[in-house]
């Protein structure tokens, strides 16, 4: 990892409120993945965010805005996040959101296919639309009109907007994770990469 975790005792006055915000957010989400190291320092994308708090604050505010009052079902959100993470090969994102996906009831085989970058056969109609939107956006170019209409039909205009913003957020997080070569924690199966 190119930016090491920052233990709570080493946080600057500017970093401390951001660290507290992230920890509160993770507690509220009841995150089913490891987000701190043995010294209590945040891991994953958070050391990078703490290192650059001025850049991270707006990103976390955006994240909170999209997650608070979400209209998308949790499984749909995780399909979109894992599809995005797999397109970028973002190890920590795939590790953490594989656990979130399992916690919200996505079957193991569906999660495995999403992590491998494949369209699972066992998706619900809404989950399939979310996969197709995420995959289509990552392929580049405008989203096909039929897929856009299918997404608005499945989620409404607000849900479609939330889906696009969610995909954009996690594409950004994926790039951050990859730029700083963020590894997965030791409790991830298979070592340092999913």
What pLDDT, in 10s, does the model give residues 107-116? 999 999 999 9
What are the two backbone dihedrals, phi and then psi, of residue 36, each rounded to the nearest 5 degrees?
Answer: -135, 155
**From CA 194, how far away is CA 174, in angstroms rounded?**
14
C-beta of residue 184 within 8 angstroms of C-beta of residue 175: no
Q: What is the mean pLDDT of the chain?
A: 94
Arithmetic mean of pLDDT, 64-70: 87
Q: Which of 67, 94, 115 is the last residue of a domain?
A: 67
Domain count, the chain: 2
CA atoms within 13 A on the CB side of 15: 17
Q: Which residues contact 185 (CB under 8 A, 6 or more apart)?
A: 33, 34, 37, 43, 95
**From CA 60, how far away is CA 20, in angstroms rounded?**
12
Say yes or no: 79 and 174 in one domain.
yes
Say yes or no: 43 and 122 in one domain.
no
Handedness of CA 39, 58, 56, 84 (dihedral sign): positive
Looking at residue 29, its pLDDT comes to 84
* Residues recorded for the chain: 194
pLDDT class for 67, splitting at 50, 70, 90? confident
Say yes or no: 27 and 52 in one domain.
yes
Looking at residue 194, its pLDDT comes to 43
Say yes or no: 26 and 47 in one domain.
yes
Say yes or no: 86 and 27 in one domain.
no
**From CA 180, how far away is CA 58, in angstroms rounded?**
19
Arithmetic mean of pLDDT, 52-60: 94
Q: Is residue 185 part of a domain?
A: no
Say yes or no: 80 and 175 in one domain.
yes
Q: Is residue 188 part of a domain?
A: no
Looking at residue 192, its pLDDT comes to 37
Q: Is residue 161 part of a domain?
A: yes
Q: Which of 67, 87, 116 is the last residue of a domain?
A: 67
Handedness of CA 41, 10, 20, 74 (dihedral sign): negative
Say yes or no: 133 and 173 in one domain.
yes
DSSP-assigned letter for residue 183: P
The conformational region for residue 36 under phi > 0 = left, psi -120 to 50 = alpha, else beta, is beta
Say yes or no: 147 and 162 in one domain.
yes
Helices (H) and strands (E) in the chain, counts: 8, 0
Say yes or no: 37 and 62 in one domain.
yes
Q: Is residue 85 part of a domain?
A: yes
Arithmetic mean of pLDDT, 130-153: 97
Say yes or no: 134 and 81 in one domain.
yes
C-beta of residue 155 within 8 angstroms of C-beta of residue 72: yes
Looking at residue 191, its pLDDT comes to 37
Q: Is residue 56 part of a domain?
A: yes
Say yes or no: 174 and 78 in one domain.
yes
The range of the structural domain enclosing residue 102 comes to 74-179
Say yes or no: 58 and 83 in one domain.
no
pLDDT class for 193, splitting at 50, 70, 90? very low
* Cβ count near 135 (within 10 Å): 18
C-beta of residue 181 within 8 angstroms of C-beta of residue 1: yes
């Amino acid at each position: 990892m190119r930016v090491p975790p920052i233990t709570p005792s080493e946080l600057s006055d500017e970093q401390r409120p951001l660290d507290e915000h992230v920890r509160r957010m993770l507690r509220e989400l009841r995150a089913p993945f490891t987000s701190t190291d043995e010294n209590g320092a945040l891991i994953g994308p958070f050391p990078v965010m703490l290192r650059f708090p001025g850049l991270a604050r707006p990103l976390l505010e955006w994240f909170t805005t999209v997650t608070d009052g979400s209209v998308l079902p949790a499984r749909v959100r995780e399909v979109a996040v894992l599809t995005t993470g797999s397109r970028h090969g973002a190890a920590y994102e795939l590790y953490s959101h594989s656990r979130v996906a399992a916690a919200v009831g996505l079957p193991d085989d569906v999660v495995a296919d999403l992590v491998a970058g494949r369209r699972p056969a066992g998706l619900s109609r809404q989950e399939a639309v979310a996969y197709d939107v995420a995959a289509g956006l990552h392929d580049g170019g405008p989203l096909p009109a039929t897929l856009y209409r299918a997404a608005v039909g499945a989620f409404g205009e607000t849900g479609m907007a939330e889906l696009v913003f969610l995909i954009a957020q996690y594409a950004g997080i994926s790039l951050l994770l990859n730029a700083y070569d963020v590894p997965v924690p030791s409790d991830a199966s298979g070592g340092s990469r999913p």
